[in-house]
Amino acid sequence: MTEAAAPGRGGSPARRGAVPGPRPTGAWLPGDDPGRRRFVTLFEGAPLRLELGGELGPVTVAYETWGRLAPDGGNAALVLHALTGDSHLAGPAGPGHRSPGWWPQLVAPGGPLDPEQWFVVCPNVLGGCQGSTGPASPAPDGRPWGSRFPALTVRDQVRVEAALASRLGVACWAVVVGGSMGGMRALEWPLVAPGRVRRAIIIACGAVATAEQIALCAIQARAIRLDPAFAGGDYYAAAGPGPAAGLGLARRLGHVSYRSEAELQGRFGRGPQPGEDPGAGGRYAVESYLDHQADKLAARFDANSYLVLSRAMDHHDVGRGRGGVAAALGSVTAQVTLAGVDSDRLYPLYLQYEMAELLPGRPEVRLVSSPAGHDGFLIEADQIAKIVADALA
């Protein structure tokens, strides 16, 4: 293992305080301010063999930690982010971090994973764009991976997280928790690495990707690929914003599925954006909202990572190669807590109830009450914190 505060271009140290200029990706790149990130390099000798074929190595993982690992290793908690999340679980926006922490209530003093008691780890996922190896990262030849980056599955990502755990001295996680794509990884953890997690808290996901979920991802992927600036995935050397238009369109579509119809109607209705007239070429307020979400994502994310991670979610199927979903879930030995959002139309509650029927002990499904739809697993952070605290009591 190689571990350092941050890698730099050509082996040079990271430029703390560096502000990236206009460029065709919102990815964190070597030389950018690392913020709270730490880095570890894995699979330096033998590369990671990928589930769908091919291999990848070495692999860099960016991660953040809170608290200290107990001498007996029994206080380790792994928190896993969703599609466009990153390792910045808690903390303010600032140098190195364009957004504040996304679940800060979990690791706050007095929270369910209080750093005074817990050693909390949050990695950026393999294939992501905030410090871990992904399409924007330098390949072994020094050029960005771009279109050459291999296809991944959730299981590949969990295997990398398991290697990270070993390097951090964590033999077994007391708890693994995640929502949406992070929930898929939390679900795969007891299956990929049985005996290395005592409890999994799985929020707002299912055991397999549904046809509708795959269809929505397909439309978003097509929007990115049809952007002329996408250049077949090899846009990193270009001037300008790269495929920001295609990524923004994908985000607009995705964001509608992340929210509920009732929430959008209640917040915006048919109201115009202040100062604009929709009848004269202006925007409705909900259109302005989607534009804002698109611009925010393009500033901090990478189009290729969006494609790679979305496709990994399409491949999500815990029953693949394990005799089917029922057999796979029935073999889980870790304690499982399930939770879902009552207004979620992307990962509706029936998916969590289906898992509960197949898991040993038929665990209760905890409800997150929110008008916000799928994004309720992030917005209702106090409710999530209560679910985690109850699971660990």
Q: Where in the sequence numbering do the catalytic residues fall?
A: 180, 344, 374
* Distances 52 to 48, 260, 311, 317, 375 between C-alpha atoms, Å: 12, 34, 12, 13, 30
Question: How far is residue 135's CA from residue 150's CA, in Å, rounded to a whole number?
Answer: 9
| DSSP assigned state of 185 | H
SS3 328: helix
Asked if residue 208 lies in contact with residue 316, where contact means CB atoms within 8 angstroms, the answer is yes
Burial class (CB in 10 A: 0-12, 13-18, 19+), 235: buried
Helix spans in 55-203 (H): 104-107, 154-167, 181-192
Phi and psi, residue 270, nearest 5°: -105, 20
**Which are the contacts of 104, defined by CB distance < 8 A and separation ≥ 6?**
89, 90, 91, 381
Reference 154, options 78, 215, 222, 208; nearest CA is 208
Q: What is the sign, positive or negative, of the torsion defined by CA atoms of 161, 166, 167, 169?
A: positive
Helix spans in the chain (H): 104-107, 154-167, 181-192, 211-225, 244-258, 261-268, 285-300, 303-314, 325-330, 349-358, 376-379, 381-392
Residue 169: alpha-carbon gap to chain centroid: 23
